[in-house]
Structure 1
Amino acid sequence: MNLVSMPDGRVINLDHLTYAERTGEYVVLHFTGGGDAGSGSIIRLKQSEGARRVWAYLAEKRTATIGPAS
């Protein structure tokens, strides 16, 4: 598992991260999964230490797919 701890105490599993984007002062993370509809979930982070941890993780995973799955 690829877990990232946030400054507010949340722990986020980045294994199911499909898309990350910067919007203004936030980083928006989109994940697969969810209920029966498979809609997934979205987490908004203020661009702070937590967002820097996510971007550092993505930089290490140079093969990360950003965009629609093929």
Structure 2
Amino acid sequence: MNLLSLPDGRIVNLEHLTYAERMGEYLVLHFSGGGASEGGTGSVVRLKQGEGARRVWTYLAGKC
């Protein structure tokens, strides 16, 4: 598991990250939700550019 602690105290699992995009001063993370049988629709988290965003980019660079 690749867990990331966000500045507001939330913890996200980067294994469920489907894509990330830069929007101005924010990094927007899109996560897959539960399967269709669970009614999951995914979630979106916005991070202000900074340490949390750098950790996400480092994780993504390692996956490529």
How much identity, in percent, do the aligned residues show?
72
Unpaired runs of 5+ residues, structure 1, are 63-70
Unpaired runs of 5+ residues, structure 2, are none
4+ residue runs of structure 1 moved beyond 4 angstroms? none
Shift of 1:10: 2.4
1:50 — aligned with what? 52
Q: How do 1:33-44 and structure 2 match up within 5 A? A: 33-34=33-34, 36=39, 38-44=40-46
Q: Write 1 or 2 for the structure with the bigger share of helix.
A: 2
TM-score (norm 1): 0.77
2:27 — aligned with what? 27
2:25 matches 1:18: no
Q: Secondary structure at the match of 1:56?
A: helix
